[in-house]
Structure 1
Amino acid sequence: MVFGWLMVALVQQQAPQIARVEISPPQAEIQVGQTIKLSAKVLDAAGTPVPNARVMWFGGGDGSVDSTGVVRGGFRGYIQVVAMATAPGAKRVTQEMRIRVTPAPAAKLELSASSVKLAVGSRVTITGTPKSAENDIRYDTITFASSSPRVVATTPDGRLQALKAGTAVVTASAGNARASVSVEVVAAVPATISITPGTTSVRTGDVVRFTVAVKDRLGKAIEGLTPRWSVAALTADGVGQIDSDGAFVAEERGSYTVSATVGTASADAAVHAAPRAVGRGIEVVGRVPVNFRGGEVWAHPNGKCVYYTTIGDRFYAIDVTTPSDPKIVDSVMIDARHINDVMTTEDGKYGVFSRENASNRKNGIAIFDASDACHPRVISDYTETVSGGVHSAYVSEGHVYLTDDATGSMRVISIKDPYKPREVGRWQTTQTEAGRYVHDIDVRGGMAYLSYWNDGLIILDVGNGIKGGTPEKPVFVSQLKYDLDHLYRRVDDMYGLGARGTHTAWRHKNYIFIADEVYAAKAAKGHDQGNDLTWGRLQVVDVADILKPKIVAWYEPTDGGVHNLWVEGDSLYMGAYQGGGRVVDISGELKGDLLRQGREMAWLFTADSVGNRPRATFTWGAVVKDGLIYFNDINTGLWITRLEKKERPIP
């Protein structure tokens, strides 16, 4: 054995050794759908090509790399390319390269208005958003031109001024994309304008919808005119905003003047905003500390047992009949390295948990009998079409809507006979396979809300009827994509931007709350060393028009992110990773920056001196049952808590 080792060492000394690998071109940027051919030189210390060298190509992220070095852009973002060089008798050497993927050219242009009605002298501003054929937001310069400059004058950046009565079409252009606004200028001259309400007192975060009434010199109402809204803060720390439809919100305490102008007439309204004052404490009722990496939590409908999964081969049944003294009473073990999700049927008779990284590569889901809640028993599994792994699974009305790691598709499994689960439906996006990944699914009212990572939020009809969909034949309803790289530039600047995407969705009333997951590329230092720093924001999507979802508000912790969500009443509960557990007030209409408005109600840093990773908070989510909040921390275990009743006074 020693002789053989010496021979290998001798051969390596005699053979030319690889000193470096040079990739050409050294930098590259491609668009979604485009390709580029990379080449590599394998050189020794003198810069001479190493004979008989071979280069193997690998890649990951938002595109693909084939064995010949051809890189294809899949989604907006970055592709991490690795060239691995080998040669007989030489140690292998790798070289990495990051290729940026940008959106394809603008294919459409969405404007802030399709038509406006103005009085002579009125001014309004039209804004627009260019998008590619794949619905990626672009930042092309938009130019505007009027078909009748004597009726409506426009600046190149979209500021319109009504000059005389008549009609005009204002056309906006961004690259080859076009869109237009119909403009009507009326002859009637506004003499007076009034705003309702004239004076109002609110809390920060309360939305006030202002309306205007316009009359001519004879006191006759002029209907349908588009006013120009503006807002001024009367205190140094005031921050407020108003939309083109008159919706105003104060994000900081103070007094504000809201103004509306129509033609040469204008009027003001006053808003006095007090602090929201919703702060409350969190009482820790009970604990289940762990010395392993924990996972998700689910409360059985009977309220007496909760399930706690692991980044491992089992999940635990915890008796919470006495919440102050929870006890692990049973567990379910299976061939897996990650049991990410667990959920029961609505009646609590059966449950489903997901599997990833099984040693036999048969992952999928397992179904268990939960009739004896704290003593679950596996009765069947389903692996046939999802053996590549299932990250998330949602149980609804006899079906399991799950994520297929291997294909990036949603699969629908019928468990109406829980002993014989079978696939009945499937749906996936079509942009590209490379980078396609569905992370999580929420199903409510016959609609499925898919957190589709690079593809954003996807809404499907799976029985609602709006598009004729069923669980067997899901039908596309709408999509919302947004610029993840732009949103998380701060993370990129500080830690390097790792994987990021749309992670979780939760439908509540006319809103969908979506959470992004954003990993840091560099390891944490100092206090957070060893913890997997993760970031992201909660985005509030208005779906009053389900065909046109739009982001209207957001919440982004400064010391963490937003992982899994739970909504109960007017409160939203979340795991904020290193930011601990959070509770946010979501009462009323939502608009703007919820954190700045003071809607953060409570937080709990779920760290202790022991645990799998001492003094390192990493809260994944929350489940609310019977007034108790179950926060699950992968480092420190399960925290059973409740909100304190008395609100904290605001000085």
Structure 2
Amino acid sequence: MVKVKINIIYIFLALVNMNLIASDDDSLYFQFEPDLVSLEIGDSINIKVSLLSRDGSLSKNQFLLTGEWGSVEVKPWISNPDGVANVRLKVYKPGSFNLNASNITNDRFKRVRGSLPITVPYPPIDKIEFVDPVKTAYEGTRIKFFAKIFDQAGVLRNDIEPIFNSSNEKIASFDKFGNLSINQRGRVELTVSIKDQTYKNIFSRTDLRIIRNPVRKIELSMKEGSYRTGDVITFVAKAKTASGKEITDIPVEFSYTGKANYGIGLPASGLITPEGKFVAENPGEYTVYATSSGYTSSLTIKIKARNIQKRAQLIGHGLITDVFTSDLWVWQGVDEFSDRDFAITGTWEANGEAYFWEVTDPSNLVIIDTVTVDARTVNDVKISADGRIGVMTREGASSRKNGIVILDVSDPFNVKILSEFSDGLTGGVHNAFIYDNHVYAVNNGRKYDIINISDPTNPWKVNSYELNTPGHSIHDVWIENGIAYSSNWSDGVHVVDIGGLQFSEENRHTIMKNPILQSAGKGSTRNPILMTSKDDTTGRNHAAFPFLSQSTGDFYVIAGDEHFPFGLGEIQNKEPANPRGGYHFLNMNDYKNPVEEAIYQVPEAGSHNLWVKGDTLYTAFYQGGLRVVDISGELLGDLYKQGREIAFYLSNHPEGRIPNATMVWGPQPYKNHIFFADMNSGLYAVKLVDFDDEDD
């Protein structure tokens, strides 16, 4: 056990460590007491944070606090209305961190920010150990070994590389990556240690017995057929003795070579897994090899182009140039409007508007009503499944109440505000979803509140779902069949049972096809139950969408990135932004152990919102435009490189808020068209046509 030591340095200088950014009157600053902190892992300390005016008085301005993910926990995370927060800060990992503060304003680019430096020294290393080392191996093979290093605080130290050694390199020898080449029979002692001589007495050992290798041939097989780029082919390798007996516990390594059909002798590219699953990215000729014990077998295959491309033809466009457009939702009307179609779009860093459109004729997109609320940003808009209730999210309200606004949209030509709900939502609502008479509202990026709207004129909070990891945050939540899929930046995707479908004859097929629904049903709005999660080591998880493959029966959650490495020029400076990101396909067949199997990312473009219909992915790729992707069949590797993209559309309108700058926010396939919102130029409707079709 490490002896806890707290070293706090007080520096009583009011204006030190403020990291000021201009506010509306450029007159506020943060004061941290103490203003520099050094803690050991697991320690905590009380911190007083105040937002002061230039004369040293309290600002009467509320602010938010955040710690760094996985490392710094801060409670509470919001100040009192006077601008004071007495918080408890706890650290979980070594390194240099910050406690960050920012005030609540209606203009996000005029917030005052401050930070408190936190230093957490690295504890000494405690132990190193092999991970499930084998005890017996065959001569002439190669095996990869792994090790874990822990410090005295019990933290796994991935920043330190292990060093592997063999007691007899003639029998077996390591490379620097932990791969052991086994040369001849015998016994060896394997050691894993740390290069730093400070820890020369910290190591781990294991014995390995090397036996005769009976393998005399490798047989390689695959299912015959015609294959295209993106098709996954499973190669089966069998190691056999001279008499034909199969040896099932011997390692086999797969590799490939290839020549592409294009270029002047270019090599073809693809991916092959240790299990023998192969996917080609280019049409051409490939040879796959299986090797073990000095024996090799190979098969050569021809790969054709996928040839699925279509053209996204513009059908209609509703131009908006005075404000930035945010999300959209398209739905079918009810009652006297049941034979007509409508859409709602939000606005970003604007004046609190949501626009209502008639889209029955996609070639004639017309605004039919506008609802304006006290907000700077209406980031998200949603419509209930029955087409009667809408919700607008609010950020940057002048009253700082923010929250959500609940609408009666049964007459889209005369939308009525039924109620507002802002209890505990002062920090703003960035995203929401309507499901089964409840609104799931993302509360200031920290949790989602579950709000009952069975009486939409009198909403009330039922419960919340919040992570317990240090520095946690959330961006998005999507509900389907009683399961909430939330996107939590570094904490990744969380799959939560909030009332999964109950088994009935009507629901039987839906439940039996979905491994998560098969185990769900114990949770509720009052008792949300986490079923599984998958961390995102990049810290960019922004969106999540469930996907049950119609062609294979595999169940995925598609996790989308959002990343602005070059800043938010699009909004802040009226210049085109340059985001990055992609979509990660997490196989949930064994939902307690999700595995990323494929990715779709457009080079030099940034992913945002997405939708899946059938085996087709519809994505908003910001400056990369609308993208439509074939996600049928087994998925593996980089889908963009495999020719799976069906179509794209770049909405670079010359009269856009930023002229000629595509910035697609979100898509929705609806009936026979694809609707999408572009931040710079409004609402679009396109349809997919063959390349030889003439324009209408």
What TM-score do the two structures reach when normalised by structure 2? 0.71
Provide the secondary structure at the position in 2 that maps to 1:596.
Answer: helix
Residue equivalent to 2:289: 259
Amino acid of the residue matched to residue 394 of structure 1? F
Amino acid of the residue matched to residue 253 of structure 1? P
Q: Could you say if the C-alpha distance between residues 22 and 281 of structure 1 is closer, same or farther in structure 2, counting changes exceeding 3 Å?
A: closer
- Taking only the aligned residue pairs, the percentage that are identical comes to 28
Residue equivalent to 1:123: 142
User: What's the CA shift for 1:162?
Assistant: 5.3
Amino acid of the residue matched to residue 452 of structure 1? N
Q: Unpaired runs of 5+ in structure 2?
A: 1-14, 21-35, 47-54, 75-83, 103-111, 261-265, 334-339, 501-516, 549-554
User: What's the CA shift for 1:455?
Assistant: 2.1
User: What's the CA shift for 1:145?
Assistant: 6.7
* Pairing partner for 1:472 from 505, 523, 526: 526
Provide the secondary structure at the position in 2 that maps to 1:282.
Answer: strand
Amino acid of the residue matched to residue 457 of structure 1? V
Q: Does 1:384 align with 2:438?
A: no
Amino acid of the residue matched to residue 543 of structure 1? M
In the alignment, the residues of structure 1 paired with residue 590 and residue 684 of structure 2 have an alpha-carbon distance, to the nearest angstrom, of: 38
In the alignment, the residues of structure 1 paired with residue 291 and residue 485 of structure 2 have an alpha-carbon distance, to the nearest angstrom, of: 41
Provide the secondary structure at the position in 1 that maps to 2:248.
Answer: coil
Q: Does 1:337 align with 2:368?
A: no
What TM-score do the two structures reach when normalised by structure 1? 0.75
Residue equivalent to 1:597: 642
Provide the secondary structure at the position in 2 that maps to 1:567.
Answer: strand
Q: Could you say if the C-alpha distance between residues 426 and 512 of structure 1 is closer, same or farther in structure 2, counting changes exceeding 3 Å?
A: same
Q: Does 1:285 align with 2:315?
A: yes
User: What's the CA shift for 1:622?
Assistant: 0.5
In the alignment, the residues of structure 1 paired with residue 585 and residue 689 of structure 2 have an alpha-carbon distance, to the nearest angstrom, of: 26
Instruction: Map 1:364-379 to 2 at 5 A.
Output: 364-379=403-418
Q: Could you say if the C-alpha distance between residues 94 and 612 of structure 1 is closer, same or farther in structure 2, counting changes exceeding 3 Å?
A: closer
Q: Does 1:430 align with 2:468?
A: yes
Deviations 1:8-34 (A, max 9, x none): xxxxxxxxxx999999xxx99999979
Residue equivalent to 2:656: 611
Q: Could you say if the C-alpha distance between residues 608 and 31 of structure 1 is closer, same or farther in structure 2, counting changes exceeding 3 Å?
A: farther
Residue equivalent to 1:448: 484
User: What's the CA shift for 1:567?
Assistant: 1.0
Provide the secondary structure at the position in 2 that maps to 1:534.
Answer: coil
Residue equivalent to 2:325: 294
Residue equivalent to 1:490: none
Instruction: Map 1:513-532 to 2 at 5 A.
Output: 513-521=558-566, 530-532=575-577
Q: Could you say if the C-alpha distance between residues 414 and 96 of structure 1 is closer, same or farther in structure 2, counting changes exceeding 3 Å?
A: closer
Provide the secondary structure at the position in 1 that maps to 2:400.
Answer: coil
Provide the secondary structure at the position in 1 that maps to 2:430.
Answer: strand
In the alignment, the residues of structure 2 paired with residue 165 and residue 146 of structure 1 have an alpha-carbon distance, to the nearest angstrom, of: 14
Deviations 1:280-323 (A, max 9, x none): 21111001001222111101144601111112312111011111
More deviation in 416-425 or 97-106? 97-106
Provide the secondary structure at the position in 1 that maps to 2:398.
Answer: coil
In the alignment, the residues of structure 2 paired with residue 337 and residue 437 of structure 1 have an alpha-carbon distance, to the nearest angstrom, of: 22
User: What's the CA shift for 1:618?
Assistant: 1.2
On the 8 A contact 1:106/1:138 being kept in 2, the answer is no
User: What's the CA shift for 1:152?
Assistant: 7.4
Q: Could you say if the C-alpha distance between residues 127 and 586 of structure 1 is closer, same or farther in structure 2, counting changes exceeding 3 Å?
A: farther
* Pairing partner for 1:141 from 145, 161, 166: 161
Question: How many equivalent residue pairs?
Answer: 585
Instruction: Map 1:578-597 to 2 at 5 A.
Output: 578-597=623-642
Amino acid of the residue matched to residue 140 of structure 1? I
Amino acid of the residue matched to residue 384 of structure 2? T
In the alignment, the residues of structure 1 paired with residue 497 and residue 150 of structure 2 have an alpha-carbon distance, to the nearest angstrom, of: 25
Amino acid of the residue matched to residue 303 of structure 2? A
Q: Does 1:159 align with 2:179?
A: yes
Deviations 1:192-248 (A, max 9, x none): 321121776522222111112333222233335431222223453311221111111
Amino acid of the residue matched to residue 535 of structure 2? K
Deviations 1:12-62 (A, max 9, x none): xxxxxx999999xxx99999979999xxxxxxxxxxxxxx999x9999784
* Pairing partner for 1:275 from 275, 288, 305: 305
More deviation in 467-476 or 122-131? 122-131
Q: Does 1:534 align with 2:572?
A: no
Residue equivalent to 1:405: 444
In the alignment, the residues of structure 2 paired with residue 279 and residue 134 of structure 1 have an alpha-carbon distance, to the nearest angstrom, of: 52
In the alignment, the residues of structure 2 paired with residue 411 and residue 106 of structure 1 have an alpha-carbon distance, to the nearest angstrom, of: 42
On the 8 A contact 2:17/2:116 being kept in 1, the answer is no
Amino acid of the residue matched to residue 254 of structure 1? G
On the 8 A contact 1:279/1:647 being kept in 2, the answer is no
Instruction: Map 1:10-49 to 2 at 5 A.
Output: none
Provide the secondary structure at the position in 1 that maps to 2:407.
Answer: strand
Residue equivalent to 1:213: 238
User: What's the CA shift for 1:630?
Assistant: 0.8
On the 8 A contact 2:382/2:392 being kept in 1, the answer is yes
In the alignment, the residues of structure 2 paired with residue 29 and residue 238 of structure 1 have an alpha-carbon distance, to the nearest angstrom, of: 54
In the alignment, the residues of structure 1 paired with residue 639 and residue 461 of structure 2 have an alpha-carbon distance, to the nearest angstrom, of: 41
Provide the secondary structure at the position in 1 that maps to 2:564.
Answer: strand
Q: Could you say if the C-alpha distance between residues 513 and 116 of structure 1 is closer, same or farther in structure 2, counting changes exceeding 3 Å?
A: farther
In the alignment, the residues of structure 2 paired with residue 182 and residue 305 of structure 1 have an alpha-carbon distance, to the nearest angstrom, of: 70
In the alignment, the residues of structure 1 paired with residue 127 and residue 412 of structure 2 have an alpha-carbon distance, to the nearest angstrom, of: 53
More deviation in 159-168 or 225-234? 159-168
Deviations 1:396-416 (A, max 9, x none): 22332221106x012222223
Q: Could you say if the C-alpha distance between residues 115 and 478 of structure 1 is closer, same or farther in structure 2, counting changes exceeding 3 Å?
A: farther
On the 8 A contact 2:665/2:677 being kept in 1, the answer is yes
In the alignment, the residues of structure 2 paired with residue 573 and residue 120 of structure 1 have an alpha-carbon distance, to the nearest angstrom, of: 51
User: What's the CA shift for 1:543?
Assistant: 1.9
Amino acid of the residue matched to residue 288 of structure 1? G
Provide the secondary structure at the position in 1 that maps to 2:563.
Answer: strand
In the alignment, the residues of structure 2 paired with residue 102 and residue 118 of structure 1 have an alpha-carbon distance, to the nearest angstrom, of: 41
More deviation in 379-388 or 100-109? 100-109
Residue equivalent to 1:568: 613
User: What's the CA shift for 1:329?
Assistant: 0.9
On the 8 A contact 1:295/1:632 being kept in 2, the answer is yes
Q: Does 1:192 align with 2:229?
A: no
Provide the secondary structure at the position in 2 that maps to 1:387.
Answer: coil
In the alignment, the residues of structure 1 paired with residue 560 and residue 373 of structure 2 have an alpha-carbon distance, to the nearest angstrom, of: 30
Provide the secondary structure at the position in 2 that maps to 1:278.
Answer: coil
User: What's the CA shift for 1:632?
Assistant: 0.2
Residue equivalent to 1:318: 357
In the alignment, the residues of structure 1 paired with residue 253 and residue 175 of structure 2 have an alpha-carbon distance, to the nearest angstrom, of: 16
User: What's the CA shift for 1:629?
Assistant: 0.8
In the alignment, the residues of structure 2 paired with residue 364 and residue 58 of structure 1 have an alpha-carbon distance, to the nearest angstrom, of: 16
* Pairing partner for 2:689 from 639, 644, 649: 644
Provide the secondary structure at the position in 2 that maps to 1:284.
Answer: strand
In the alignment, the residues of structure 2 paired with residue 94 and residue 366 of structure 1 have an alpha-carbon distance, to the nearest angstrom, of: 29
User: What's the CA shift for 1:378?
Assistant: 2.2
Q: Unpaired runs of 5+ in structure 1?
A: 1-17, 38-51, 84-92, 485-499
Provide the secondary structure at the position in 2 that maps to 1:300.
Answer: strand
On the 8 A contact 1:80/1:99 being kept in 2, the answer is yes
Q: Does 1:348 align with 2:384?
A: no
More deviation in 169-178 or 474-483? 169-178
More deviation in 438-447 or 150-159? 150-159
Deviations 1:529-561 (A, max 9, x none): 712332222222222221122222222222320
User: What's the CA shift for 1:389?
Assistant: 1.5
Provide the secondary structure at the position in 2 that maps to 1:518.
Answer: coil
In the alignment, the residues of structure 2 paired with residue 163 and residue 58 of structure 1 have an alpha-carbon distance, to the nearest angstrom, of: 61
Q: Does 1:418 align with 2:456?
A: yes
Residue equivalent to 1:460: 496
Q: Could you say if the C-alpha distance between residues 363 and 117 of structure 1 is closer, same or farther in structure 2, counting changes exceeding 3 Å?
A: farther
Residue equivalent to 2:273: 243
On the 8 A contact 2:130/2:147 being kept in 1, the answer is yes
Deviations 1:462-496 (A, max 9, x none): 33473743322222333323432xxxxxxxxxxxx
Residue equivalent to 1:511: 556
Provide the secondary structure at the position in 2 that maps to 1:416.
Answer: coil
In the alignment, the residues of structure 1 paired with residue 19 and residue 369 of structure 2 have an alpha-carbon distance, to the nearest angstrom, of: 56
Q: What do you get for the CA RMSD once the two structures are aligned?
A: 4.9
On the 8 A contact 1:113/1:181 being kept in 2, the answer is no
